[in-house]
Structure 1
Amino acid sequence: MSGQWADSTRRDELPDDWYTVIRPYVLHRDEHRCRWREGRIVCGHHANQVDHIVPGNDHRYENLQALCAHHHAVKSSREGNAARWRETVRRPPERHPGLI
């Protein structure tokens, strides 16, 4: 496996019917159009990916949206960076070697 899924266990967390029912339903509902919003402008390009609006394991249809590959990557990157930032903020600062 390559790309964003290489070290991820995310696929294991998806419901059994993700690829057969949920994902096709959301893409059809959203007419295979990217729902990414920048202010009042909606992308509208061809969407082939389904995204959780609020990250996590809420797989209800109202928490899912169709996105194009570009905007799904942008959103995932922002969420990953935010998670890494939260981790680094929690670490206590290192002591200066000259003060030890």
Structure 2
Amino acid sequence: MSGGWVDSDRRSELPPNWYTELRPFVLQRDEYRCRWREAGRVCGHHANQVDHITPGDDHRPENLQALCRHHHAVKSSREGNAARWRETARRPPERHPGLIRP
């Protein structure tokens, strides 16, 4: 298995009722349809995953949405890339090797 939950402790951060109450509630509420919105359109494909609208630990149903596998991967990838860029932006610029003087 690659990516996703491998080497992640994210699952332990989910509330105890995630699988028994929250996840099923959101999927039913959203009628098992992907709520991904882009260019003013909703995807609408079959959704089998639940994701946070605003990243973090806000597990309230109003911050959760049903997503299809494809759009969940797209959203997670964008969030991961944004986090990596934020980390890179904090690093001081490296000096060019040709400009280093003894």
TM-score by length of 2: 0.93
Counterpart CA distance in 2 for 1:26 and 1:5 is 21
1:56-95, aligned counterparts within 5 Å? Answer: 56-95=56-95
Measured after TM superposition, the shift of residue 94 of structure 1 is 1.0
Give 3-state SS (helix, strand or coil) of 1:8's partner.
coil
Question: What corresponds to 1:45 in structure 2?
Answer: 45
User: Which of the two has higher C-alpha Rg?
Assistant: 2
1:25-40, aligned counterparts within 5 Å? Answer: 25-40=25-40
1:18-29, aligned counterparts within 5 Å? Answer: 18-29=18-29
Instruction: Name stretches of at least 5 consecutive residues in structure 2 with no aligned partner.
Output: none
Counterpart CA distance in 1 for 2:76 and 2:2 is 16
Measured after TM superposition, the shift of residue 87 of structure 1 is 0.4
TM-score by length of 1: 0.94
Instruction: Name stretches of at least 5 consecutive residues in structure 1 with no aligned partner.
Output: none
Alignment root-mean-square deviation, CA:
1.1
Aligned residues: 100
Counterpart CA distance in 2 for 1:26 and 1:74 is 20
The percentage of counterpart residues that share the same residue type is 81
Counterpart CA distance in 1 for 2:13 and 2:73 is 19
Measured after TM superposition, the shift of residue 3 of structure 1 is 2.9
